[in-house]
Amino acid sequence: MLHDFLSWLQEQWNISPSLVVKLSISIGVIFFLWLLRFSAFKIIFKSTEDPKVRYMWKSGVKNAYYVLLIIVIGAIWIDKIGSLATFLGLLTAGLAIALQDPIVNLAGWLFILIRKPFEVGDRIEIGNIAGDVIDVRFFQFTLNEIKNWVDAEQSTGRIVHIPNGKVFKEPQANYTQGFSHIWNEIGVLVTFESNWKLAKEILNETIDKHSEHLSKKAENKLREASKKFMIFYSSLTPIVYTSVKDSGVMLTIRYLVDPRKRRGSEEAIWEEILNKFSEHNDIDFAYPTQRIYYNLKEGKAGTVKSPDA
């Protein structure tokens, strides 16, 4: 059937025999490469059920398919330039002038594949956009957006496509590469009149209960990350810091958490804090208020001065 079709083309359009040969070879190459790609996809889906592994292999096969297709078809049709290397050199020079942005994006794709500043599944922030990487292609990568108008870095539901060239121009923060946990802080402000020492004990008990297993897991991850990056923390255990603010005593909880579980951990910690504080009459939350301080009655003995002094 293919031979009849090519013969018909040669007769109707007066196509030279050499052109017919090239056309038939090109169709055969396209079909052969497509068959290899299809077979590779079948093998990948039978070999693993892990979505991330499947995606990585499928993406690699797809990219290899397009690269081979361009090179082989180019070698078949470009025979007057002398060599494929010359053809690729001229093509690259022309594209560099006419298509600067796509070339930069393609270079960014190679940088992402080789240097791996992030991978599919990582949570990153690039420029002012944050999200989970769900796809990496020749000219752009795709994020499942977080933050923006949604609190605690949860998903907004939007998909954001970012040109690969941005990796050369914008700083990138990776939440999950190397060290898999992030430090999270919760500030609890109590009044000056509160028993802040008791409040601090309650916060220490609460955070030890909710983050102990996270610190152990993070310590193992940190050991692995230290082999690749210069990451060092003297302590990974949760802690409560004390400081003084205008409205009261600030007790700041600092602990490690999986970046995707940040909101859930804060909810559990806050609910326990609210329940425990409600059991003590000598602990009150501070909030913006207005009060009059009368030194003669409220001041310490050593600081009280007579109006006549």
Domains of the chain, by residue range, sit at 2-98, 123-174, 182-277
Instruction: Give, as one character, the DSSP assignment of residue 54.
Output: H
Given a cut of 60, whether residue 101 has pLDDT beyond it is yes
Could you give phi then psi for residue 11, rounded to 5 degrees? Answer: -75, -45
CATH topology for the 182-277 domain? Alpha-Beta Plaits (3.30.70)
Print the SS3 string covering 163-199.
EHHHHHCCCEEECCCCCCCEEEEEEEEECCCCCHHHH
Given a cut of 90, whether residue 128 has pLDDT beyond it is no
DSSP characters over 200-219: HHHHHHHHHHHHHHHHHHHH
Given a cut of 70, whether residue 260 has pLDDT beyond it is yes
**Residue with the two structure tokens 């030194």:** 295
For strand 249-257 and strand 182-190, is the pairing parallel, antiparallel, or unpaired? antiparallel
Lookup: tokens for 97: 């002038």
Largest CA distance in the chain: 121
CATH topology for the 123-174 domain? SH3 type barrels. (2.30.30)
Instruction: Measure the CA–CA gap between 59 and 113, rounded to whole angstroms.
Output: 11
Contact 126, 89 (CB under 8 A): no
**Residue with the two structure tokens 């020079």:** 93
Given a cut of 80, whether residue 133 has pLDDT beyond it is yes
What are the pLDDT digits (tens) for 137-186? Answer: 888 999 999 888 887 778 888 999 999 999 998 998 888 776 778 889 99
Given a cut of 60, whether residue 95 has pLDDT beyond it is no
Average pLDDT value for residue range 246-268: 89
Given a cut of 60, whether residue 80 has pLDDT beyond it is no
Q: Break the chain down into helix, strand, coil percent, rounded to 5.
A: 55, 20, 30
Query: pTM score, two decimals?
Result: 0.59
Contact 120, 135 (CB under 8 A): yes
Instruction: Measure the CA–CA gap between 275 and 198, rounded to whole angstroms.
Output: 14
Helix (H, G, I), strand (E, B) or coil at 163: strand
List the Cα angle 298/304/305 in 5-degree steps: 135
Given a cut of 60, whether residue 299 has pLDDT beyond it is yes
